């Protein structure tokens, strides 16, 4: 389960393009934040994706990836041309291929490595779908999890949404703002589509005689789409990114984009207090109705002259700090060993998990104080960036911001783990997290 949004010039305060995504996966499914340099390949080279090997292109681009540790593909990322992409699982009436195929995450990474713009990315993914299809098991421990994909892609001038159902697809150019959250969103107003899209729906009886074709109405799987609470989360993103005209007071800016990804849609929010996956900042709570949580977050701020990416590199954006990244000599963090299946003190993602999970055990008591410290540090990163747009200051080097965020995480981890719990969540919630911690070999908190 994930949430992705984009706002273009009519919807942003500075006329930029602002893109954001929360990747929601299993709680112990660590996510790598990594930079991979482009390179040249010999003719007839091949690339090994998560499950299948396909022909490689002669030259790939530099990419920044947020990637579940066990996959080749990525949940979201950017490239040196200013292209940024996020994908979503969508549930359709078309058969799912659980065999060897390109996953949605593979398609996303391949597009970042090969495409120079949002429109190029649409054509790249559509071509890969035609040549290789999509499928494969996409869960980490849930080996039944398989799905089709939607994609939201943006560059400094343009944005597109591409939604698929098996090998069929529809795509639309975005003009103001859009959000995707685990459901098909396109009706009949798309700009491009697979040539068999409408005929297939008619032949299968999903498009009734004398009815107007709607991609989402004809192809959506009702049960999984409904009980993923995708509509609630999508509407929550759009309510902030592009509120109705009558409610607009100001357009979206960078701090507002970070707040979208931290949105719990409630004051005094407690992660143990609700049953379903209906919040954008998602915390896992049980293995049945809330078995996913946000394991990584990315925001892109794209203008004609600057392209800056803000990533947590950690789970749960409410307990994380967004740090700036750029495609230049000082714009990426010091490389770390990639995370794996169990706790590793040498990996930023797992180090942060000690803080995140200790806050969960007394969220109402521990989160407010941490949020104040988080906002102060993050604000020190954001303020020079806002000035940079006007040519006044330079941002702090990327590695410095990551070091300062790591230091705050260490300080607060020690503070929270040493502080008695005042208002613990219920027994079942604590038991669920104890089980996850044991599987991850998490140090006692």
Residues annotated as catalytic are: 2
* Two tokens, residue 371: 């949020």
Place of tokens 């947590």: 312
Task: Please state, as a whole number, how many other Cβ atoms lie within 10 Å of the Cβ of residue 346.
Answer: 9
* Two tokens, residue 256: 């507002």
Place of tokens 């990474």: 109
Shortest CA distance to 126 belongs to which of 143, 114, 138? Answer: 114
HEC readout, 278-324? CCCCCCCCCCCCCCCEEEEEEEEEECCCCEEEEECCCCCHHHCCCEE
Is the alpha carbon torsion for 331, 105, 101, 170 positive or negative? negative
Are residues 97 and 12 in contact, defined by beta-carbon separation less than 8 angstroms? no
Q: What is the CA radius of gyration of the chain?
A: 21
The rounded distance, in Å, linking the Cα atoms of 279 and 236 is 8
The enclosing H or E element of 385 equals helix 363-389
Place of tokens 């942060």: 352
CA dihedral in degrees (178, 182, 184, 186; nearest 10)? 0
Residue 78, judged by CB atoms within 10 A of its CB (0-12, 13-18, 19+), counts as: buried
Shortest CA distance to 328 belongs to which of 344, 306, 347, 350? Answer: 306
Our CA angle for 205, 207, 211, nearest 5°, is 140
The enclosing H or E element of 114 equals helix 104-114
Are residues 189 and 97 in contact, defined by beta-carbon separation less than 8 angstroms? no
**Residue 394 gets which letter from DSSP?**
P
Shortest CA distance to 225 belongs to which of 142, 122, 148, 125? Answer: 148
């Amino acid at each position: 389960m994930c949430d992705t949004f984009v706002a273009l010039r009519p919807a942003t305060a500075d006329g930029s393009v602002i893109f954001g995504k929360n990747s929601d996966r299993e709680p112990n499914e660590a996510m790598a934040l990594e930079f991979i340099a482009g390179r040249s390949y010999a003719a007839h080279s091949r690339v090994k994706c998560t499950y299948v090997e396909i022909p490689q292109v002669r030259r790939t681009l530099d990419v920044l990836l947020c990637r579940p540790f066990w996959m080749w593909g990525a949940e979201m990322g950017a490239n040196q041309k200013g292209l940024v992409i996020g994908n979503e699982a969508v549930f359709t009436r078309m058969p799912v291929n659980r065999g060897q195929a390109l996953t949605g995450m593979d398609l996303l990474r391949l597009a970042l490595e090969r495409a120079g713009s949002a429109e190029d990315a649409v054509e790249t993914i559509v071509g890969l779908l035609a040549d290789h299809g999509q499928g494969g098991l996409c869960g980490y421990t849930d080996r039944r999890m398989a799905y089709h994909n939607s994609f939201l892609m943006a560059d400094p001038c343009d944005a597109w949404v591409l939604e698929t159902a098996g090998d069929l697809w529809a795509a639309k150019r975005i003009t103001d703002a859009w959000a995707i959250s685990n459901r098909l969103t396109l009706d009949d107003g798309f700009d491009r589509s697979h040539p068999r899209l409408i005929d297939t729906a008619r032949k299968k009886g999903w498009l009734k005689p004398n009815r107007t074709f709607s991609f989402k109405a004809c192809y959506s799987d009702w049960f999984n789409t409904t009980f993923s609470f995708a509509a609630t989360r999508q509407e929550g993103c759009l309510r902030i990114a592009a509120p109705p005209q009558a409610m607009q007071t100001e357009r979206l800016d960078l701090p507002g984009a970070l707040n979208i990804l931290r949105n719990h849609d409630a004051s005094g929010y407690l992660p143990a207090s609700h049953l379903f996956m209906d919040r954008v900042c998602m915390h896992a709570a049980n293995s049945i109705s809330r078995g996913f949580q946000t394991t990584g977050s990315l925001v892109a701020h794209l203008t004609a002259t600057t392209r800056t990416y803000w990533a947590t590199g950690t789970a749960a954006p409410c307990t994380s700090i967004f740090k700036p990244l750029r495609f230049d000599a000082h714009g990426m963090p010091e490389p770390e060993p990639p995370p794996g299946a169990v706790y590793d003190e040498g990996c930023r993602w797992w180090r942060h998990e000690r803080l995140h999970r200790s806050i969960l055990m007394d969220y109402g008591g521990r989160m407010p104080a941490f949020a104040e410290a988080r906002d102060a540090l993050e604000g020190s990163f954001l303020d020079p960036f806002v000035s940079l747009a006007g040519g006044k200051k330079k941002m702090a080097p990327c590695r410095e911001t990551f070091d300062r965020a790591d230091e705050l995480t260490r300080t607060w981890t020690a503070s929270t783990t040493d502080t008695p719990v005042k208002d613990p969540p219920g027994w079942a919630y604590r038991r669920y997290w104890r089980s996850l911690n044991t599987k991850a070999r998490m140090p006692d908190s």
